Amino acid sequence: MQETSHSGQLGMLDPVAEVRVPDSKPHSAAKLDVIGFVDNGWWSLGKVLTRFEDLFQTQARTSKVIWKKKPDASNTAPKEVFDELSSRADAVVVGLGN
């Protein structure tokens, strides 16, 4: 996350993360065997991700779904969560809300 400050009065965090696509898995040929979900704790997100899980398993034939939960909706997930998901999952769904 990048922090910007103007005259030392107020700092603002830019929550936009860099998008990384592994060279070994081109998007057009990506196989979605393993999907990761990062649940941010919003009450409605669990319902949405459960529906996504069903769609991935029935339509994309995903064999495994890895669920991770952020400590709360206002903070980012620990780096270790993204490190694990990027090494184990073919794709990860994050950033959905109410």
**Mind listing the pLDDT tens digit for each residue in 62-89?**
999 999 988 877 888 889 999 999 999 9
Q: Strand, coil or helix: what is 75?
A: coil
* Contact partners, residue 81, CB within 8 Å, separation at least 6: 38, 68, 70
- Give me the residues paired with residue 92 across strands: 36
Q: Does this model's pTM top 0.75? A: no
Determine which helix (DSSP H) or strand (DSSP E) holds 69, and give its type and residue range.
strand 64-69
* Contact partners, residue 25, CB within 8 Å, separation at least 6: 31, 90
Measured at the CA of 80, the angle between CA 78 and CA 4, to 5 degrees, comes to 45
State pLDDT tens for residues 11-60: 666 666 665 555 554 444 457 899 999 988 887 888 888 888 998 898 88
Q: Beta 2-6 vs 10-14: how paired, if at all? A: antiparallel
